[in-house]
Amino acid sequence: MPGLSVLALTEREVALCTHRRLAISGLARWWTMRRYLDRTGGRHGLFLELDHLTLPLALGLPMGRGRAVSGILFRPSVHYRHGTGRTGERLRDLRKAWLYRLMLRRGAVQRVHTLDDGFPAYARATYPGGDKVVTLVDPAFPPLEPSEGDRYLAERAPEGRTLFVLFGVLSERKGVLALMRALALMDPTTASRTAVIVAGEVDPTIRDELDAAIASLRRLQPALWLHLEPRFLKSGEIAALIDRCDAVLAPYQRFVGSSGVLMWAASRGRPVIAQDYGLVGRLVRDRGLGLTADTSDAASLARALAAAVGLQRGQLADPDRLAAFAAGLTPDAFAAAILDPILPARIGQIDSSAASVDSSDKLTTPRRRLTTSESAGPGV
């Protein structure tokens, strides 16, 4: 693309930026961004995941004279009040509140995007510099039509049953083990009317426990139809699964951030059954996207599943509200909100005559340089 240059991180930089200790990875990301700003002459650094950068930015570690940074804060949680809360969660939020307060005071921090539309108002009312926090839409996948091959897994489910699907990386936090415990509590009649497809790569740390839970469930609930597909799914397969199902499951275990599962489900007109905690729970309740439950409690989740078996899709969530929620969640809106404030022209609008070729035959733009640190999971 004219005007765009791509520089890859070294293996050592990647290793440091994805270190298991958050303080080390955060400092490594700050240092790596600064080095690449020095190297390219960039004036603005964009972190596509800002959560791990709050420590170095709160400490005021310099980016360089005349430089600014912005980024996306995925997991603000300080504005939620979850009853009495848990000690670990209260300590987490006290730490975040302190870091946010210091970070937003730094002149180099130009803008903080957040997918949680409830956080900006809280930040403005609570922190000096809170007006730097702005809402960012969480982009849904563009609509796609599954191929015939994509429909194979979805068509394995028997007709005449309420079909639930859980997809993505199958970890404890995702709620797959909680789902097994909830299904074990279903009454036999409800179980005989239920089908469940669980699909995605299984976290190796829970694989043995998941296998044991499924084996136990088959003995306890012989009338239940359950299928585990332990592999990565293509986008078309996910779309076919959602089209075939009656409800999408998002039984996260006290997860505070955003979830692409909501976008997938709403964009294809399907309700969700989700945790009642954090941003996911608030969106489902406020936007009418389905049912919420205390998914950390097997009995509560089992009641939500049983309620869904007895209802039609339109009773779980209004199709018009699902469509309204998904309508503005476009990749273009996401990109515009991030790039328009920091680029003199959108990348796609930069004329090829404005670009020059450097000694390594990579296109660079003399107009303004932007360095982006992108997260792939916990990395940069």
| pLDDT, tens digit (0-9, with 9 covering 90-100), for 188-243 | 999 999 999 999 999 999 999 999 999 999 999 999 999 999 999 999 999 999 99
- The answer to whether residues 315 and 336 belong to one domain is no
239's CB contacts (< 8 A; 6+ apart) are: 141, 144, 145, 146, 150, 264, 268
- The answer to whether residues 301 and 188 belong to one domain is yes
Nearest by Cα to 166 from 156, 157, 185, 179: 179
- The answer to whether residues 235 and 362 belong to one domain is no
Nearest by Cα to 108 from 44, 177, 24: 44
> Cα–Cα distance between 174 and 261 in angstroms, integer?
11
What does the DSSP 8-state code read for residue 248?
E
> Cα–Cα distance between 196 and 341 in angstroms, integer?
45
Is 133 among the domain residues?
A: yes
pLDDT (tens place) for every residue of the chain, 380 residues total? 666 788 999 999 999 999 999 899 999 999 999 999 999 999 999 999 999 999 999 999 999 999 999 999 988 988 887 555 677 888 888 999 999 999 999 999 999 999 998 899 999 999 999 999 999 988 877 778 999 999 999 999 999 999 999 999 999 999 999 999 999 999 999 999 999 999 999 999 999 999 999 999 999 999 999 999 999 999 999 999 999 999 999 999 988 878 889 999 999 999 999 999 989 999 999 999 999 999 999 999 999 999 999 888 788 999 999 999 988 788 888 888 998 888 765 444 434 333 333 333 332 333 334 444 443 333 32
Is 18 among the domain residues?
A: yes
Alpha helices of the chain — where are they, by DSSP H? 11-17, 22-40, 54-58, 87-105, 119-126, 176-184, 188-192, 207-220, 235-244, 260-267, 278-287, 298-309, 313-316, 319-327, 331-339
Nearest by Cα to 273 from 194, 350, 328, 337: 194
Is 163 among the domain residues?
A: yes
**Model pTM?**
0.78
- The answer to whether residues 194 and 270 belong to one domain is yes
| pLDDT, tens digit (0-9, with 9 covering 90-100), for 148-186 | 999 999 999 999 999 999 999 999 999 999 999 999 999
| Domain region containing 116 | 11-139+330-373
Is 5 among the domain residues?
A: no
Q: At 133, which helix (H) or strand (E)?
A: strand 133-135
- The answer to whether residues 214 and 347 belong to one domain is no
What does the DSSP 8-state code read for residue 256?
-
- The answer to whether residues 157 and 116 belong to one domain is no
Nearest by Cα to 160 from 221, 242, 223, 215: 223
Buried b (16+ CB within 10 A) or exposed e, 243-277: ebbbbbbbbbbbbbbbbebbbbbbbbbbbbbbbbb
- The answer to whether residues 170 and 253 belong to one domain is yes
- The answer to whether residues 318 and 334 belong to one domain is no
Please check whether residue 349 is in contact with residue 376, taking contact to mean a CB–CB distance below 8 angstroms.
no
- The answer to whether residues 162 and 262 belong to one domain is yes
> Cα–Cα distance between 256 and 28 in angstroms, integer?
25
- The answer to whether residues 345 and 205 belong to one domain is no
- The answer to whether residues 33 and 76 belong to one domain is yes
Is 378 among the domain residues?
A: no
171's CB contacts (< 8 A; 6+ apart) are: 203, 205, 206
